[in-house]
Structure 1
Amino acid sequence: MLEQLLIFTRGGLILWSCKELSNALKGSPIDTLIRSCLLEERSGAASYNYDAPGAAYSLKWTFHNDLGLVFVAVYQRILHLLYVDDLLAAVKREFSQVYDPTRTVYRDFDEIFKQLKIEAEARAEDLKKSNPVVVNGQRKQIGSKGDGSEGKKGGAGGGGGAGLKNDGDGKKRDNKSENNRFVANNNNGSNLKSNGGNNVSVNGKENDSVNNGAFDVNRLQKKVRNKGGNGKKTDNVVSKAEPKKVIKKNRVWDEKPPETKLDFTDHVDVDGDADKDRKVDFFAKEQGESMMDKDEILSSDSEDEEEDDDDDDSGKNSKPDAKKKGWFSSMFQSIAGKANLEKSDLEPALKALKDRLMTKNVAEEIAEKLCESVAASLEGKKLASFTRISSTVQTAMEEALVRILTPRRSIDILRDVHAAKEQRKPYVVVFVGVNGVGKSTNLAKVAYWLLEHDVKVMMAACDTFRSGAVEQLRTHARRLEIPIFEKGYEKDPAVVAKEAIQEASRNGSDVVLVDTAGRMQDNEPLMRALSKLIYLNNPDLVLFVGEALVGNDAVDQLSKFNQKLADLSTSPTPRLIDGILLTKFDTIDDKVGAALSMVYISGAPVMFVGCGQSYTDLKKLNVKSIVKTLLK
């Protein structure tokens, strides 16, 4: 049965809840829905599943964007109620007629809801009775569309190619009889025709079942080719198709040395001494201030480009989607305003935005969900005068991206380090990730940044799996002049990390940076070892180190890392990934979509961005810059 139905504003004010459904919900499904779904731009999803001790709920919702109302229904997941969507639509329609912004109590809506619920249940029962035949465990709607869909696999008569097929003129014919007719014609050998050696025809009509395995196509084609001659013509054709042998030309070396240098890199020579400038630049990078403490200046180039694009909509550079309705209709609509936006009005602009996000390396699944969420937030909303649909969709998407990339909770490492120092315990950070993303290098960058703030740092070499990992970390520790705890190879990394934390407590280190072995998300033995390390040592921060180069892989990596850490943990409240460190950010130009994909799939913020090879090349993520780059 239905557990609860709630109506509240986008500001969080509850206007009405069903008194009849006064069942005490276990846990807080509504609050979780708001935090994890609606505020995280996942409102385009069909439903949300909430698990609590002793209960499993499904939540469905709909919006009235023009009035700013949210309608949420909660029911037991095991019941699969068919009338919930219909009931929500009816409640939305009826409540919008009695809604008054000055009212906060709607007790008279109880009787209306009872009647709506009875009617929705009756319609669901009628639909269930009139519902169709069940074939192979799937319900199929009875009816003919004239597109040959009845002959598909899993449908009625779809097995083994013996179902009905379309003949192109709306008539159906039997594949089995067609195959028999083809074989009969084949015995005569007089009705076969070949079209380029690819399609075989019967009596001038193309046979759709050539590839069904009823006969050998190669043998038939061979007969057709040999019918016109003795096979010599075919041999000549084959010999002509052979590629010509390419002969490589010999390199000609000049006796005189080249006048230009072999170094094609651009160097700015200020004082006339390029070598001196490069040396100064090198030392500035090695001994300068970390980029984490510098504020990035956001240029207005992207804004100018967007304005130029808006001005050119009527010209040759305008997108095809913007031309569909014509110049006059779109201009009149922008001046007069539109009563209510419909999904069909939003689709062209959303499709263009989805394609743009995917070109910026955003995973396709994430781009699709974002567009669905923006459509859900705009559908039914009134378009203001002198406003175009494309600019409205662009503004809504920009706001959604800012909400996603802005951290839900503030993680200030320096503040947390000082708080742990007052409790006389070290602050522990564990670096995890797949192979070859740069965990050890970026761990050293974080250590350099912490040293600049007078924090005592110690490294823990817990990558006991990869050869050379301990030596690599030892080199960084020697250059930064900080202690390192190591036990060599083939040791349990969880035990090594525990002993490193104990050593840090004895020698007065403020922070322990734990380096772990790179592992693929599907490697269960290594993922089990990582889960044990996190459970045994309970670190203050678990940082996932990922590449900015990945697109769809980012979703798979992060989701499986979190899933494995949850499944393999023995704790009832397993630790998941707390933050993200993006590496190789200087190599991607404007393909910054991996940051959005990772934050969306995990809910963890991007805390550090690696943008070079020196210790100072570590930055904060500029949310406004990323959003403008994604939408540029």
Structure 2
Amino acid sequence: MLEQLLIFTRGGLILWTCKELGNALRGSPIDTLIRSCLLEERSGASSYNYDAPGASYTLKWTFHNELGIVFVAVYQRILHLLYVDDLLAMVKREFSDLYDPKRTVYDDFDDIYRQLRKEAEARAEEIKKSKQFGKPTNNSLGRKQGQMQKAGLDGGNKKKSGGESGNDGGDSEKSKGRKMDNGHSNGNHAGIEKSPVMGAVSGKENESSNSGAFDVNKLHKLRAKGGKKTDTLVNKVPKAEPKKKATKKNRVWDDSPPESKLDYTDPMSENLDENIVVVATDHGESMMDKEEIISSESETEEEEEAEKDGKTNSTKKGWFSSMFQSIAGKANLEKTDLTPALKALKDRLMTKNVAEEIAEKLCESVAASLEGKKLASFTRISSTVQAAMEEALVRILTPRRSIDILRDVHAAKEQRKPYVVVFVGVNGVGKSTNLAKVAYWLQQHKVNVMMAACDTFRSGAVEQLRTHARRLQIPIFEKGYEKDPAIVAKEAIQEATRNGSDVVLVDTAGRMQDNEPLMRALSKLINLNSPDLVLFVGEALVGNDAVDQLSKFNQKLADLSASPNPRLIDGILLTKFDTIDDKVGAALSMVYISGAPVMFVGCGQSYTDLKKLNVKSIVKTLLK
């Protein structure tokens, strides 16, 4: 039984809801559907599963894009109702005829809905019964197989095994001995078990029974002939002289070993302090505080070139035919009309490094939002699809919550506690380097920063962070290696509270998303310290792997958390953005799969090379 059926506009106005059901929904499945599915361009999916304490619902929906109406049905997931899709289609058709933009109350639709639901349930029951009675029993199945085998012996069945027909193998003992439960021989099984040699027992090739097999005698003859030819060829070809292998020269060591220490990572070493260059906070303005300006001249030039290309293409295809198609086309767009343009758009997104799965889901969502809409005059389908995709990309990449870290830092300072940021990610993406960039940017805004060296797993990680701290003149909290990173982070936060530090930047070990022990340690660190921000550091070079990394990181953090509301990734820091040219699709893939915004973009090696993500620039790059 349905739990709820709701009709509302895209603006959020509820037009009609089923009063017969009357069951109060647990949690907020409708709000969650709108927030995490419809607004994030996942409307192309067939259904959405909602889980809450004591509730498990399945939601299905459909749109009337021309009127801007959404129809949503909610039912218990365990029920598997078969008539929901049919009911939604009928409700959509009947309510569209009744809809008036000036009306807000539709009490007269109650009786229509009752009739539609009875029809949908009766139709589903008939389909269910027809499937049950139409299913053959074991006896009838055996009779059908016997008839098929008999027809096969008469020459009607072309897909016969070697044990059922032919001159030689039809009377073999194996084919007679293998019987099914219904008394008929299983010819397919006999044909699989039969050796290829059985087809040539009499020395002749069995063409009828062994169409896919080969003759062993022919194979021996070919080997004999081929062997002589290969021998002569091998003898004629001169042997190449083997290259001399380069040998490593032996290192000459002194007789007496040096007394000085070889470990140059001692924090008290004077030589290390002399080699480190201190970077002043006024060394340069961080790119985070600079507004990225997109030149309008280049855009207009690109648009003019695109228009010229479009005109030449339309001239080749026929100017009148293309214009006639755009003006006098179908009144309402159908999925078949959108398919060519969406396929071209999907291929374009994939060339820009967008994961294939994400590109496909985006195209399905755009198709769902355009299906049934009227095409405006003098408008091409391709331009309509591209405009809809542009709106969808802007909606996805635009953060849905505040990402003003400086405001959050000052709010935490008023509460007399440090603002804690944890940097997580896979190996080698540049967590420590970009942590230092964030620290430099915070320093420019007069924020007291402290680093916490919680990468106690990788050799040299503490020394690397210590070098950044000395260059930036920032205090660092460290406990060495082989320590519990959760305890180190907790002590670092306590130290920052005593010293009056405003922000604690926690560096963690790089770990692959499938590494269970390290993911468990990361979950412990986050659950124990409850940081204000969990930043996932990812490369802009990855494509499909970005989906796997982020989804598994979030999945592990949720599975390993003891809290009913597990802490997941809050934001993304995208590194190596200066190395990808126009292949900016990783940003879209990461935001789409996690729902977390891109808060920082690393674009160089110096401390100033950190900037914000320009959404309009990314969208234009993806679609050009």
- Report the TM-score when normalising by structure 1: 0.81
1:13 correspondence with 2:13: yes
1:309 correspondence with 2:309: no
- Residue 483 of structure 1 is aligned with which of 475, 491, 497? 475
- Residue 333 of structure 1 is aligned with which of 316, 325, 328? 325
- Residue 201 of structure 2 is aligned with which of 179, 184, 187? 187
Q: Within 5 Å, which residues of 2 pair with 1:70-219?
A: 70-131=70-131, 172-176=158-162, 177=164, 180=169, 186-191=200-205, 202=207, 207=211, 209-210=212-213, 219=216
> What's the CA shift string for 1:43-85, capped at 9, x where partnerless?
0001000111111000000001111110000000000001100
Give the match's secondary structure for 2:63.
strand
Residue type matched to 2:355 in 1? A
How many correspondences in the alignment? 550
Aligned equivalents of 2:200 and 2:223: distance in 1? 15
TM-superposed CA distance for 1:128, in Å, is 1.1
Aligned equivalents of 1:220 and 1:287: distance in 2? 83
Residue type matched to 1:122 in 2? A
TM-superposed CA distance for 1:188, in Å, is 4.3
TM-superposed CA distance for 1:310, in Å, is 4.0
Residue type matched to 1:358 in 2? M
Aligned equivalents of 1:493 and 1:135: distance in 2? 63
Distance of aligned partners of 1:230 and 1:8 in 2 relative to their CA distance in 1, 3 Å threshold: closer
Residue type matched to 2:293 in 1? I
Give the match's secondary structure for 2:201.
helix
Distance of aligned partners of 1:237 and 1:221 in 2 relative to their CA distance in 1, 3 Å threshold: farther
Give the match's secondary structure for 2:59.
strand
TM-superposed CA distance for 1:333, in Å, is 2.5
Q: Within 5 Å, which residues of 2 pair with 1:571-610?
A: 571-610=563-602
| 2:357 match | 365
TM-superposed CA distance for 1:232, in Å, is 2.0
| 2:24 match | 24
TM-superposed CA distance for 1:315, in Å, is 3.6
- Residue 222 of structure 1 is aligned with which of 219, 226, 242? 219
TM-superposed CA distance for 1:328, in Å, is 3.9
| 1:444 match | 436
Aligned equivalents of 1:504 and 1:332: distance in 2? 70
Aligned equivalents of 2:74 and 2:394: distance in 1? 29
Percent same amino acid at aligned positions?
79
Give the match's secondary structure for 2:159.
strand
Residue type matched to 1:223 in 2? H
Aligned equivalents of 1:285 and 1:400: distance in 2? 40
Kept in 2, the 8 Å contact 1:302–1:629? The answer is no
Distance of aligned partners of 1:243 and 1:442 in 2 relative to their CA distance in 1, 3 Å threshold: farther
Kept in 1, the 8 Å contact 2:575–2:601? The answer is yes
| 1:66 match | 66
Which deviates more from structure 2 when the two are superposed, residues 404-413 or residues 175-184? 175-184
1:622 correspondence with 2:614: yes
Aligned equivalents of 1:3 and 1:190: distance in 2? 71
Distance of aligned partners of 1:288 and 1:108 in 2 relative to their CA distance in 1, 3 Å threshold: same
Residue type matched to 1:89 in 2? A
Kept in 2, the 8 Å contact 1:286–1:616? The answer is no
Residue type matched to 1:131 in 2? K
Distance of aligned partners of 1:513 and 1:135 in 2 relative to their CA distance in 1, 3 Å threshold: farther
Aligned equivalents of 2:430 and 2:2: distance in 1? 51
| 2:272 match | none
Q: Within 5 Å, which residues of 2 pair with 1:247-262?
A: none
Kept in 2, the 8 Å contact 1:558–1:602? The answer is yes
TM-superposed CA distance for 1:304, in Å, is 3.7
Kept in 2, the 8 Å contact 1:544–1:581? The answer is yes
Residue type matched to 1:222 in 2? L
Aligned equivalents of 2:622 and 2:420: distance in 1? 34
> What's the CA shift string for 1:118-143, capped at 9, x where partnerless?
1111111111122267799xxxxx9x
Kept in 2, the 8 Å contact 1:302–1:628? The answer is no
Distance of aligned partners of 1:225 and 1:424 in 2 relative to their CA distance in 1, 3 Å threshold: same
Which deviates more from structure 2 when the two are superposed, residues 369-378 or residues 103-112? 103-112
| 2:405 match | 413
Kept in 1, the 8 Å contact 2:282–2:444? The answer is no
Q: Within 5 Å, which residues of 2 pair with 1:446-461?
A: 446-461=438-453
Aligned equivalents of 1:404 and 1:244: distance in 2? 63
Aligned equivalents of 1:230 and 1:598: distance in 2? 57
| 1:251 match | none
Aligned equivalents of 2:51 and 2:469: distance in 1? 45
Aligned equivalents of 2:553 and 2:385: distance in 1? 34
Which deviates more from structure 2 when the two are superposed, residues 532-541 or residues 177-186? 177-186
Aligned equivalents of 2:326 and 2:343: distance in 1? 20
Which structure 1 residue ranges, 5 or more long, are not aligned? 137-141, 143-155, 193-201, 211-216, 249-282
Which deviates more from structure 2 when the two are superposed, residues 333-342 or residues 20-29? 333-342
Residue type matched to 1:600 in 2? Y
| 1:35 match | 35
Distance of aligned partners of 1:370 and 1:221 in 2 relative to their CA distance in 1, 3 Å threshold: farther
Aligned equivalents of 2:69 and 2:533: distance in 1? 38
| 1:565 match | 557
Distance of aligned partners of 1:304 and 1:62 in 2 relative to their CA distance in 1, 3 Å threshold: farther
Aligned equivalents of 2:508 and 2:23: distance in 1? 48
> What's the CA shift string for 1:278-331, capped at 9, x where partnerless?
xxxxx9999211011111111343554344334323646x89xx96xx754431
Aligned equivalents of 2:415 and 2:310: distance in 1? 61
Distance of aligned partners of 1:226 and 1:584 in 2 relative to their CA distance in 1, 3 Å threshold: closer
| 2:545 match | 553
Kept in 2, the 8 Å contact 1:285–1:616? The answer is no
Aligned equivalents of 1:610 and 1:128: distance in 2? 58
Distance of aligned partners of 1:16 and 1:236 in 2 relative to their CA distance in 1, 3 Å threshold: farther
Distance of aligned partners of 1:419 and 1:170 in 2 relative to their CA distance in 1, 3 Å threshold: farther
Give the match's secondary structure for 1:313.
helix
TM-superposed CA distance for 1:221, in Å, is 5.7
TM-superposed CA distance for 1:334, in Å, is 1.5
Give the match's secondary structure for 2:310.
coil
Aligned equivalents of 1:515 and 1:20: distance in 2? 56
Kept in 2, the 8 Å contact 1:398–1:627? The answer is yes
Aligned equivalents of 1:135 and 1:492: distance in 2? 63
TM-superposed CA distance for 1:103, in Å, is 0.9
Aligned equivalents of 2:327 and 2:78: distance in 1? 50
Residue type matched to 2:295 in 1? S
| 1:273 match | none
Q: Within 5 Å, which residues of 2 pair with 1:275-314?
A: 287-300=283-296, 301-302=298-299, 304-313=301-310
Residue type matched to 1:79 in 2? L
Kept in 2, the 8 Å contact 1:292–1:619? The answer is yes
TM-superposed CA distance for 1:410, in Å, is 1.1
> What's the CA shift string for 1:441-487, capped at 9, x where partnerless?
00000000000000000000000111100000000000000100001
Distance of aligned partners of 1:303 and 1:410 in 2 relative to their CA distance in 1, 3 Å threshold: farther
| 1:272 match | none
> What's the CA shift string for 1:32-52, capped at 9, x where partnerless?
100000000000001000111
Structure number with greater Rg is 2
> What's the CA shift string for 1:236-267, capped at 9, x where partnerless?
46778x8995999xxxxxxxxxxxxxxxxxxx
Q: CA RMSD in A?
A: 3.1
> What's the CA shift string for 1:143-202, capped at 9, x where partnerless?
xxxxxxxxxxxxx99xxxx9x99xxx996422354695886653344447xxxxxxxxx3
Aligned equivalents of 1:110 and 1:244: distance in 2? 91
> What's the CA shift string for 1:186-230, capped at 9, x where partnerless?
3344447xxxxxxxxx37x993x44xxxxxx59466235158x58
